[in-house]
Structure 1
Amino acid sequence: MLELEELVRDFGDHRAVDQVSFRVSRGRLTGFVGGNGAGKTTTMRMIMGVLATNRGEIRWDGAPVTAADRRDFGYMPEERGLYPKQTVLGQLVYLARLRGQGNAEARRHTLELLERLGLAEKSQSRLESLSLGNQQRVQIAAALLGSPKLLVLDEPFSGLDPHAVDTMAELLREYAAAGIPVLFSSHQLDLVERLCDDLVIMASGHVVGKGTADELRHRDRPRYHLVTGAPAGWARDVPGVTDVEELPDGARVELAADADPGELLTQALGRGAVHAFTPLVPSIADVYREMTSA
């Protein structure tokens, strides 16, 4: 397990990361989301030791993370760093050998990854000759080389076509199923919602939300769509109701966290037919906008 405890990072007078704490558990995909400048990349760089922390602690399996631990972490940086004039296969085999694999094992594993990522036919091509999307796939392969104990991926889906996104998502699920913690950032909130077990939302250097998708969706006061066939302004007088948006055929109603929705339904039934009484569950995009708009 990776644990971050009260991380702080300053750049001069600017505090880019302010008391950031969260964990990335084994076998779980954790989405790391936030706007540009929220502090995601800086946090990932501190995890990998590219940047030092000003305060706080990073722990791996309960102990302070070491350089030896980090050698077993797979990392995809925001700024890509492969060699444009080398062949795809040649440089990936070289990187795999740097991670401790023998030549035959490095070549076998690299070819397997290139096949999975749809790049087998490009193995002898120079990186600079590939499209930007295919260059992104090669960078992903570089992060997956060896047997990483943790994956830290900064915008791995950026620039990928839908088929490549699906392939990458399947690969990450396989790594997670093998017990590997995966932390990745993305601006594609629909993808994050579909793929992740846990989410961490950042804004202005702070963690403003974390938990499972369901926990984040249901953290606030519950809301219901009540359909009665006529405006339901009367719902304002029901105990526990905190807000009512009248509609031509009913209302959208917000309740206090401890309110009983059955009371609202009982009163609605006492006034006539109820055609629908449906919980309104926000999307992760809605939750993100609310948490980061303050």
Structure 2
Amino acid sequence: MLSVKNLKKYYATQKAVDDISFDIEEGSIFGLLGPNGAGKSTLLRMITGIFYPDSGDILFRGEVFDQRKHAGDMGYMPEERGLYKKMKIGEQALYLARLRGLDATVAEQRVREWFDRLNMTTWWNKKVEDLSKGMGQKLQFVTTVAHNPKLLILDEPFSGLDPVNANILKDEIFRLAKEGTTIIFSTHRMEQVEEICDKIALVNLGKKVIDGSVKDIKQQYKENKYRVHFHRQSVLPPDFVEVYDTFETGFVFKMKEAGTTNQLLQYYISKGIDISGFEEILPGLNEIFIRLVEDTNVARAFEK
């Protein structure tokens, strides 16, 4: 669907985006993540044609990106909101849908369908200036998706939403992806990316730190730590494991030298001790990011 190849963008002497490349498959949810100021928004603005790269290429469905040709297939919800405060909500949604090329009948049908999906029907005649931040966020989402874009770009889409409305929006994102929409989800919230995205690119200070599937990245940076649970309390660990943490009914450990987890399981079976749970501990993306940018101000900020 989308290929970004060696993109660079400079602001005076600052490298906002420094030689970043990645590929996004059609129908996938791709996470672009990193701290504030990492270069995410600049990347998105180049992908949508708002900014031009100083060098590098963007391919959309195998063709060199042409804003005049391809922009209609995109929907971009920026972090900065662009709603007309004095307009009524329904009126504004229809106006923006018409700007996307929909005729009046189709625009009203699509907008009302989305208002119904997001529990917004009673807002139709409210003014934008009367909306909370979360309500404004939902309106912005509707205006982004009403024309059925093939590529949907969401920059911090859950900002200002309470948990209930965040889940409603999340369900719609999953539904759109299932129906074939390709989605770029940009955020600094690592836990959201772990829950939502198929693949990610992690950026920091304008550079790509790592990319790939969430599953593969976690496997790549795992530390071979495990957690074991017992039916009873105060079970002592054997001397061939290194214990990192203990809790009431078990402990977190790593095997010493050439030991195996099967060796541990056999040890407790031979002693007639029942194990109620056993799992490998994989690092979270936040932990991996801190490890990759260790000893930087960004890493210290994420550790707080």
Amino acid corresponding to residue 151 of structure 1 in structure 2? L
Percent identity over paired residues: 30
**Structure 1 residue 84 corresponds to structure 2 residue 70:** no
Structure 2 CA distance for partners of 1:261 and 1:96, relative to 1, 3 Å:
farther
The superposition leaves residues 217-270 of structure 1 with CA deviations (integer Å, 9 ceiling, x where unpaired) of 1003541337695465655xxxxxxxx556678763278xxx9763x6448857
* Mapped partners of 1:30, 1:254: distance in 2: 35
Contact persistence 1:230–1:250 (CA under 8 A) = no
Alignment correspondent of 2:172: 171
Q: Secondary structure at the match of 1:7?
A: strand
Check conservation: 1:200, 1:207, Cα contact below 8 A: yes
CA contact (8 A) 1:17 1:206 kept: yes
Q: In 2, Cα distance between the equivalents of 1:63 and 1:16?
A: 25
Q: Which runs of 5+ in 1 are unaligned?
A: 236-243
Helix, strand or coil: the match of 2:16?
Answer: strand
Q: 1:233 to 1:14 in 2, by over 3 A?
A: farther
1:265-280 to 2 correspondence within 5 Å? 265-266=262-263, 278-280=279-281
Separation in 1 of the partners of 2:240 and 2:76? 56
TM-score by length of 2: 0.83
Instruction: Using the TM superposition, give the Cα deviation of residue 287 of structure 1 relative to its aligned residue in structure 2, in angstroms.
Output: 2.4
Tell me the distance in 1 between the aligned counterparts of 2:239 and 2:193. Answer: 37
Structure 1 counterpart of 2:28: 28
**Separation in 2 of the partners of 1:133 and 1:56?**
36
Report if aligned partners of 1:231, 1:251 keep a CA contact under 8 Å in 2: no
Structure 1 residue matching 2:220: 3-state secondary structure: coil
TM-score when scaled to structure 1?
Answer: 0.86
CA distance in 2, matches of 1:30, 1:107: 30
Letter aligned with residue 107 of structure 2: A
After superposition, what is the alpha-carbon deviation per residue over 1:26-72, rounded to whole angstroms, capped at 9, x for unaligned?
A: 11111221101111111001101111101111111111111110122
Across the two proteins, how many residue pairs are aligned to each other? 282
1:241 counterpart residue number? none
Contact 1:26 1:179 in 2 (8 A): yes
**Structure 1 CA distance for aligned equivalents of residues 28 and 38 of structure 2:** 23
Residue type of the alignment partner of 1:107:
E
After superposition, where does 1:1-294 map in structure 2 within 5 Å? 1-67=1-67, 68-225=69-226, 229-230=235-236, 234=240, 244=242, 252-253=253-254, 262=260, 265-266=262-263, 278-293=279-294
Which ranges of structure 2 fall in alignment gaps of 5 or more residues?
229-233, 296-304
Is this contact kept in 1: 2:6–2:19, CA < 8 A?
yes
* Aligned Cα root-mean-square deviation (Å): 2.6
Distance 2:77 2:225 in 1: 42
Structure-1 separation of matches of 2:198 and 2:255: 27
On the 8 A contact 1:224/1:277 being kept in 2, the answer is no
